[in-house]
Chain A
Amino acid sequence: MTTNTGKLDDFEKLFNMALDMLCIAGTDGYFKVINPSFSRILGYNNGVLLENPFLEFIHPDDIEETIHEIEKLKDGINTVKFHNRYRRIDGTYRFISWSASVDPENGLLYCVARDVTEEKENASHLIQIQNVLNNETIVAMTDIRGTIIEVNDKFCDISGYRRDELIGQNHRILNSGNHPKEFFVDMWKTISSGKPWTGMIENRKKNGEHYFVQSIITPILDIQGKISNYLAIRFDTTKHIHIKQELKKTLSILNETGQIAKVGGWELDVKSDDLTWTDETFNILEVEKQANRKPILPEGLNLFTPTSKSIIENAVQRAIEFGEPYSLELEALTAKGNIIWIYTNGKANYENGEIVTISGTIQDINSRKIAEKQFEQERQKSIRNAKLASLGELAAGIAHEINNPLTIINGYAQLMTKQLNEPEKLNENIDEILKSCDRISRIVKSLKKFSRTSDQTNLSPHQLGGIVREAITLTDAKANRNLISITFSCNANGLIICDEIEIEQVIVNLINNAIDANKNNVEKWIKISTYETETDIFLIVTDSGSGISSDTIDRIFDPFFTTKKTGEGTGLGLSITKGILDDHNAIITVDEDSPNTCFKIQFTKYAENIYAY
């Protein structure tokens, strides 16, 4: 021992004050001398440590190795950083690192030990982290030029290269070619400045397939703080990307489908008021689609005309509050200021019993609506035309119908001037005059319907029989001229709710059609009859024709369908007939079982007692 002071006290001080554990132990298994660090670290007093064999403090798993190490010492082999665990007084274990040598003369062991528990734990954490990275991620280490110097198994697995094919290669070997040059320039700029870079990289396997990896590339610094390597940690996200691509594809298919079908989709996030629209919704509402900007509910509601807005507002509100679904035909006011008819529906979507979104579709029905309106106008016009036409028919018929009774009145009046002295004859003649007057006033009555100018329907209860008779009055002249007899058998007294004029128009249409169809037949007649059941009243119009061929039956009620020659008919007759009957909730059918042409109309009987109180 050497000291500058030459005092032995100095060594004793060193022994006592050292933070490391210093001791002399015997090969008999007992400590001989221990410094205070022992009791400080392990918590026992010196007596306990000296009076018990030291193996008793050692972790059972470490005893064997410790004995083996002591044997080596006895053979003169020094112990360097031998680790074992000592039990503290509180039962926990501390990792102790031993360095020791033996004095061959007395066999005593001279030991320096240190508590390395914390270092050991740290190292263990590091190892664990390293293990996780190695086992769970794709790891590669490159030098500063990007030459691969280390890869883990996962790297080999995903890339399809063997380790020896990768090491020494530049990382570019995996370049998919799908990233622009700037992408890598940016990456290198980041990592070469000492900062980690993260991003999604598309790489290419040895077999040419592509894979996607979420990557963290971090520079590794040497002790001087200079970049020595780059470490890349990656996760395979190919599946995720594929799902995303599939989703994108699905979405684009949806958008395309929507465009073709002219159906837009939309979803309202109830909490945020955010609206998600498909492309077609943008199209229909003529809103310009902006990236990263979603419309919100108030904007969506402003795309309706004031009248429609209050309707849709209420519907959406009720959907949000009560989950009520809706489907509406409304007028939209597009972003470009056009007013178009749209159909839209919506329903509430629940999550955990709560309404989270409202979603639905939107459809441009403008052309349909316009067509409907035009058809309605056509119908009104055609009804007017039909009225005018029958007025023409009537005028001709009326002349005849009125002229006959007029002749009678005239005749009797002139006769009576001769018969003034024969009172019994006068009475008889006055009767004839009155009868003729009745005839004329009946005809005049049938004219009254032509005086109505409004197109408004006027629903009230009527007996079908009366309407049929009026229709026959109007068409009789034409039928007579074509030598067609019209017979009517009335077997229904119940009432129907209808617009008398419209229903009369229907019957006139059917009779006129029957006359046109039969006028050149040898046998020609039209039979009209009514009958009733408990709930319905039926009108049957049969003519001497031989029926309607089954392939035309389906089309006869279509507008502009006609079997007449060009110029003979517009073809609107039966479609108008059906339109009017639809409005009356009446059903017109062709009786295919009849050997003749037979139309059957079913009206709902008016239950008078409903209105009795």
Chain B
Amino acid sequence: MPIKIIYLDDEEALCKIFSQYYGSDQVNIKTFVDANEAIKFCQVNPPDLFFIDYRLSGITGDDVAFAVEESIPKILVTGDISFTSKYNFHQVISKPFDFNKVQKLINHYL
């Protein structure tokens, strides 16, 4: 049974690359550029791991994190240099990130 991962980022290219890089038999990737759609999807299909970009159009990663089930492990991805999050994320990854390191992180949840 592959694990389900959601990647939310309003940068479409990143969504694409994320799927191509990590998508495999063991890892099922679903990406969203629209936060609300991602939230709705989560309510029906809670993922095993949720990557959330912080700066989204009209909403922040924090807001999204608060809006979905608390038990879903969440990883914040951000391009900002300094920021404080109100949500207690499992992990925070700074852009640009090393795809190999993130691979290891994903492997950790396998």
Contacts and interface: CB of A to CB of B under 8 A. Distances in A.
Interface of A: 395-396, 399-404, 406-412, 414-415, 418, 432, 435-436, 480-481, 483, 485
B89 interface: no
A399 B80 contact: yes
Given A411-B21, A432-B13, A403 B96 contact: yes
A436 B13 contact: yes
B97 interface: yes
A403 B11 CA distance: 11
Contacts of A411: 14, 17-18, 21, 96, 99
B105 to A, nearest CB: 15
Contacts of B11: 404, 407-408
Given A415-B17, A415-B20, 19 more contacts: A400-B55, A400-B95, A403-B79, A403-B96, A404-B79, A407-B79, A411-B14, A411-B17, A411-B18, A411-B96, A412-B17, A414-B21, A414-B98, A414-B100, A415-B21, A415-B99, A432-B16, A483-B59, A485-B58
18 contacts: A396-B82, A399-B81, A403-B79, A403-B96, A404-B11, A404-B95, A407-B14, A407-B79, A407-B95, A408-B13, A408-B14, A411-B17, A411-B21, A415-B17, A415-B20, A432-B17, A435-B13, A485-B58
Enumerate the 9 nearest inter-chain pairs by beta-carbon distance, A residue then B residue, closest first. A403-B79, A400-B79, A407-B96, A403-B95, A411-B17, A406-B96, A399-B81, A414-B99, A407-B95
A408 B58 contact: no
Contact of B80 (A396, A435, A436, A485): A396
A396 B13 contact: no
Contacts of A435: 13
Nearest to A480: B55
A418 B24 CA distance: 13
Nearest to A481: B55
Contacts of A404: 11, 14, 79, 95
Interface in B53-104: 55, 57-59, 78-82, 94-100
Given A404-B79, A432-B13, A410 B96 contact: yes
Contacts of A399: 79-81
A137 B13 CA distance: 116
A408 B17 contact: yes
Nearest to B53: A404
Contacts of B17: 408, 411-412, 415, 432
A409 B11 CA distance: 13
Contacts of B81: 395-396, 399
A432 B15 CA distance: 12
A530 to B, nearest CB: 25
Given A415-B20, A415-B21, A410 B14 contact: no
A403 B97 CA distance: 9
Contacts of B79: 399-404, 407
A435 B18 CA distance: 17
A415 B42 CA distance: 28
A247 to B, nearest CB: 79
Contacts of A414: 21, 98-100
Contacts of B20: 415
B32 to A, nearest CB: 16
Contacts of A481: 55
Interface string B1-42: 000000000010110111011000000000000000000000
Given A411-B21, A436-B13, A400 B99 contact: no
A396 B81 CA distance: 7
A318 B106 CA distance: 89
A570 B18 CA distance: 46
A254 to B, nearest CB: 69
Contacts of B14: 404, 407-408, 411
A432 B18 CA distance: 13
B76 to A, nearest CB: 14
A483 B63 CA distance: 13
Contacts of A412: 17
Nearest to A436: B13
Contact of B97 (A396, A407, A415, A418): A407
B73 to A, nearest CB: 21
Contacts of A406: 95-96
A480 B54 CA distance: 11
Nearest to A433: B13
A542 to B, nearest CB: 20
A395 B100 CA distance: 28
